[in-house]
Structure 1
């Protein structure tokens, strides 16, 4: 499997783990210094990102990572840009959306890990 396919598969598994609220899998698929920039501009480090699932504050009914998934290979780093569609709730409030997503992956010990994720609100078709 080439880098593009490996990174697409990592991102697909990440979305699946989020939908399952699988903190162990999300932890294993990300670097210790993993950070997320959310659609409203907030920044969460790895513990804060995972705690949303651990505490039950975030509940995901469905999440897909789809269409227009482009992966750029830089050897030991890769950038994947796609579309992220989420149906869920955060602290009892709707947390639904269509986002443009950028996943930053690095090659470590023969496998790909996510080092960062950036979500921005997707407007238009």
Structure 2
């Protein structure tokens, strides 16, 4: 029987796979309707903008990993803290990097979704 932690780990793996494969259909299901992200340089991105990066072909990953993840539960929500490593280009520019990522996950709709995400570059790596 899968534990709740197993469920959250599997959710994170689905998210990383969808990001790596630029699968906007899968990502659309994983992101809450009011999803917001804070990028590595402090800019804000909403759900539509997050998905458009892939639909437009602007963001391409050669590698994308979600590792060293820890979870904390809070009611119908959870916080996932992990490391996102990527080999990527955005509009032809190198955006490789390692980022400490905080995700706020919610189960308000019955299935886990990412409501908010914040990326911070890990010192000594490119900021993306």
Q: TM-score, normalised by structure 1?
A: 0.93
Question: What SS class does the counterpart of residue 107 from structure 2 fall into?
Answer: strand
Gaps in structure 2 of 5+ consecutive residues? none
Q: Which runs of 4+ in 1 moved over 2 A?
A: 1-5
Question: What SS class does the counterpart of residue 111 from structure 1 fall into?
Answer: coil
Distance 1:85 1:65 in 2: 7
Q: Which residue of 2 aligns with 1:36?
A: 37
**CA RMSD between the two structures:** 1.4
Higher strand share: 1
Distance 1:54 1:24 in 2: 10
Q: Which residue of 2 aligns with 1:96?
A: 96
Question: What SS class does the counterpart of residue 32 from structure 2 fall into?
Answer: strand
Q: TM-score, normalised by structure 2?
A: 0.91
**Which moved further from structure 2: 115-124 or 81-90?**
115-124
| Number of positions where the alignment pairs a residue of Structure 1 with one of Structure 2 | 124
- Mapped pair 1:24 → 2:22: no
Question: What SS class does the counterpart of residue 48 from structure 2 fall into?
Answer: helix
